[in-house]
């Protein structure tokens, strides 16, 4: 399975911290942010990794990760996203890298307390389709929120619903079969001009091919706001991230 870390975007919600650097190079406690999603992949045995980034500081990632082998990464590649045209657009740049395999995509600002081993094992057993990770949150209206049918299958994900259909957020870690690249090619930009990952997930859900697992331990979207970034810093300092036994 291939791993993809998305580290483009503008990071406007962390402005002015992101005025002179990329969001994913900012510190989370004692390490640059991007090391956490990379470590999450390596911990799950995913060591062929592509980082998609953009903007003015792309080469800083190469300098930071020159000794990538010391992090347990076997092969590290980069793709350059010329404009922040959306998460699904960034993923589309990984097609040649994935080369028909399965892949796991992790947003570069998502930090987790535990690991994705259970989800990865489940996805490995799946013949086809996609798998998302869910976390119960107090404010599902701020996230992609799943709608379930009576059998407990996800029928749809609603982005930032006014009235949340469930107490869960779809977090920024997604497993896909190689079909994802054909789906991305059919997408139209949303109102905000981006190719949306929720549209990708809904394409799978519409075909009955969207599985899910619940994430154990805390999950932080460190790019959501300065307060969220501070919260994740404190959580990492107090309890540490990417634990194998959780
Ligand atoms: P977001 O946090 O939704 O977008 P952003 O990073 O541009 O931040 P802001 O809304 O504050 O301006 O993106 C989630 C993750 O996806 C983030 O880690 C960066 C990545 N991303 C890309 O790689 N390419 C893109 O085009 C976008 C929109 C996001």
pLDDT tens-digit series, residues 78-96: 999 999 999 999 999 999 9
Q: Quick one: tokens of 157?
A: 């994900």
Q: So what's the pLDDT on residue 144?
A: 97
Residue-level pLDDT at 46: 98
Q: Which ligand 1 atom sits nearest the alpha carbon of residue 86?
A: 26
Tell me what pLDDT residue 77 has: 98
Q: What is the dihedral of CA 122, 206, 198, 189, to 10 degrees?
A: 140
Gap from CA of 3 to ligand 1 centroid (Å): 17
pLDDT value at residue 246: 87
**Ligand 1 pocket check for 84: Cβ under 6 Å:** yes
> Could you say which DSSP state residue 49 is in?
E
Ligand 1 atom 22: residue of nearest CA: 8
pTM for the predicted model, two decimal places: 0.97
Residues 6 or more apart whose CB falls under 8 angstroms from that of 219 comprise 110, 111, 112, 113, 135, 171
Low-confidence stretches of the chain (pLDDT < 50) are: none
List, for residues 100-152, the tens digit of each pLDDT value.
Answer: 999 999 999 999 999 999 999 999 999 999 999 999 999 999 999 999 999 99
Ligand 1 binding pocket includes 6 (Cβ within 6 Å): yes
Decide if 205 contacts 197 (C-beta within 8 A).
Answer: no
Architecture of domain 2-238: Alpha-Beta Complex (3.90)
Q: Looking at residue 131, what is its pLDDT?
A: 98
């Amino acid at each position: 399975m291939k791993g993809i870390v998305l580290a483009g975007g503008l990071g406007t919600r962390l402005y002015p911290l992101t005025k002179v650097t990329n969001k994913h190079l900012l510190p989370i406690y004692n390490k640059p942010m991007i090391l956490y999603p990379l470590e999450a992949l390596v911990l799950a045995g995913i060591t062929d990794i592509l980082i998609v980034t953009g903007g003015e500081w792309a080469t800083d990632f190469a300098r930071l990760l020159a000794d990538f082998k010391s992090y347990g990464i076997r092969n590290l590649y980069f793709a350059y996203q010329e404009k922040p045209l959306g998460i699904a657009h960034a993923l589309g740049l990984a097609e040649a890298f994935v080369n028909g395999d399965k892949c796991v995509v992790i947003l570069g600002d998502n930090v987790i307390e535990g690991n994705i081993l259970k989800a990865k094992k489940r996805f490995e057993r799946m013949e086809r389709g996609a798998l998302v990770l869910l976390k119960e949150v107090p404010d599902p209206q701020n996230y992609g929120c799943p709608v379930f049918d009576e059998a407990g299958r996800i029928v749809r994900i609603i982005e930032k619903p006014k009235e949340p259909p469930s107490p869960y957020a779809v977090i920024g870690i997604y497993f896909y079969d190689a079909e994802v690249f054909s789906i991305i090619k059919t997408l139209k930009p949303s109102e905000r001009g981006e190719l949306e990952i929720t549209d990708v997930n809904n394409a799978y859900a519409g075909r009955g091919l969207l599985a899910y697992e619940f994430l154990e331990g805390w999950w932080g979207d460190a790019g959501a706001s300065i307060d969220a970034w501070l919260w994740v810093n404190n959580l990492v300092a107090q309890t540490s991230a990417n634990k194998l036994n959780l």
